[in-house]
A and B are shown apart, each in its own frame.
Chain A
């Protein structure tokens, strides 16, 4: 099996105006793509809100994809969309806001027309836990209804709606995840396995994949060094950056974190999964790191450590 690796775009680089995303200008964006290309990434995942910027810089989003392809990429593989902060206009657990959310999703789908074939429409299925509390079964079912609805629409455009669960979201524990998947239609709603987020929430990502592999359409390979055992997931307004005890939640693979990536890799091989594998770095600059170095080390780890796990698993088949 040939693995296909994509990169999830959180990159920050040094500019004359301080550290900013490479969308700073076209030159920076070109260099960013070349850097990923040099390491051998073939897929590119991005956020919905970058689409207008890409259009501005390259003339159109497909023109940006052509630039990726000129540099050895296959295509844009995933688009990430989310409503992390609930407002009166948009909140997945509030049914009255669903029409608006669906309309937004349709707008995003129009923004990626003409691309070679984005596969995943990645969503955060809920807003922050603290805004959703109390998290009832009913609210989880309401959220399931929303994504069933969205999933049907994206599938018409060839994209699978796939759910990425934050440790601070309202669907975070294993029972909540099970209830959510029970109420979503396997034909319309898929599972996206973020190794670090699940680990922080006390959910074993490898077991999660084992149990939901039939619905799994992607991964964020990232690591963490902390499990949230003190309810930091409830920190308002934002647990990801403001948790009292943890300044940095996410780390690249191979830096002594809690996730057992070789085991996951073996599980992936054994399952016959043939979709994209994605490296995500989030806040890599905290504590003095850089995105470029984190990306090199992650890809080095893939080619030198995970490749070995993959070979072992393939031999065992």
Chain B
């Protein structure tokens, strides 16, 4: 049997600020994830005060009494706990809806490390093992990263990685399809510049595929650095020119760009898409991958259906590839 474990990302339920707030809604989602064959969930850091009750440790505590009490809820729903938390440093937690810190700004290092530690402690307490972070802003904001910028980032994430490692939590850098790391050999350079012992890669199949990168090739190239996997599908590629659109987060990711793409991300299935999941998971197997595999739909007209369809695909097609 493989040591890899399957988790599911809760973000698809949280479609708007005032949704997915009640405990009852959480419980229904958690039971849905459990009965579809997953053993944990991934949380996403958010700052919208009480309307994002799973968005950070303080809100978890405010709604559930304590992080430990939320852990009881997870186990009551027949899950082991959480696998991971996803944290974007551009989001601030000092005040609600606050603005966070730019990793390229050297003075951000302290606050980002502190917030990372805050989340990592909660990951640990809820049975998880990975803190997934957005390592740098978008390509349109930065252009290709120069050596000094890579150095700033490497210093930051090395420092953060050491602190989370002390808590028993691995740090994994996540590359999204608009990320500055898609330009040139940014990703390779950042990985080379960081300490392999404390900084890993979170490989997101769909984000890489939309960015025009082959996730299988990226995985093979960096297998030893991959600490976390997010599995989702996509059907459309965003080329470099489109990624450089000013405010691409709004105009490309949210609005769908000139093509009017209404949905970027899909459940991992065999229905056709950019990602070859079976090849990808076979590659994980070859390299003896032992971390979390988090299935995401990210966007879905129907979260429960997405979870179930993914559950089928994991149980019937993907998990057997790891069990060989």
Touch test A–B (CB under 8 Å): yes
Within 8 Å by CB of B302, from A14, A295, A303, lies A14
Question: In whole angstroms, what is the CA distance A13 to B300 when docked?
Answer: 13
Chain A residue nearest to B311 in the complex (CB): A38
Within 8 Å by CB of A304, from B78, B303, B304, B308, lies B78
Secondary structure of the B contact surface, majority rule = helix
User: Is there an interface contact between B309 and A35, defined as CB atoms closer than 8 Å?
Assistant: yes
Count of A interface residues, CB-CB < 8 Å: 22
B277 to chain A, nearest CB (A): 14
Find residues 293-324 in chain B having any chain A CB closer than 8 Å to their own CB: 301-305, 307-313, 315-316
Which residues on A sit within 8 Å (CB–CB) of B309?
31, 34-35, 38
A85 within 8 A of B: no
User: Is there an interface contact between A296 and B316, defined as CB atoms closer than 8 Å?
Assistant: no
Question: In whole angstroms, what is the CA distance A299 to B33 when docked?
Answer: 12
User: Is there an interface contact between A37 and B305, defined as CB atoms closer than 8 Å?
Assistant: no
Q: A37-B316, A297-B28 are in contact. Are A290 and B304 (CB under 8 A)?
A: yes
Which residues on B sit within 8 Å (CB–CB) of A299?
35
Chain B residue nearest to A303 in the complex (CB): B35
The size class of the interface chain B forms with chain A is: 20 to 34
Which residues on A sit within 8 Å (CB–CB) of B310?
38
Q: A27-B271, A72-B316 are in contact. Are A14 and B301 (CB under 8 A)?
A: yes
B220 within 8 A of A: no
Question: In whole angstroms, what is the CA distance A304 to B78 when docked?
Answer: 8
Contact with B along A110-145 (1 / 0, CB 8 A): 000000000000000000000000000000000000
User: Is there an interface contact between A13 and B305, defined as CB atoms closer than 8 Å?
Assistant: yes
User: Is there an interface contact between A300 and B31, defined as CB atoms closer than 8 Å?
Assistant: yes
User: Is there an interface contact between B308 and A292, defined as CB atoms closer than 8 Å?
Assistant: yes
User: Is there an interface contact between B312 and A35, defined as CB atoms closer than 8 Å?
Assistant: yes
Within 8 Å by CB of A39, from B35, B313, B316, lies B35
Within 8 Å by CB of B32, from A27, A296, A304, lies A296
B37 within 8 A of A: yes
* Interface of A toward B, CB cutoff 8 Å: 13-14, 27, 31, 34-39, 71-72, 290, 292-293, 295-297, 299-300, 303-304
A-B contact list, 9 entries, CB within 8 Å: A14-B302, A34-B313, A34-B316, A37-B312, A71-B312, A71-B316, A290-B302, A292-B304, A299-B35
Among all A-B residue pairs, the 10 with the closest Cβ atoms = A292-B304, A35-B308, A38-B311, A34-B312, A38-B312, A293-B304, A296-B32, A300-B35, A292-B305, A300-B31
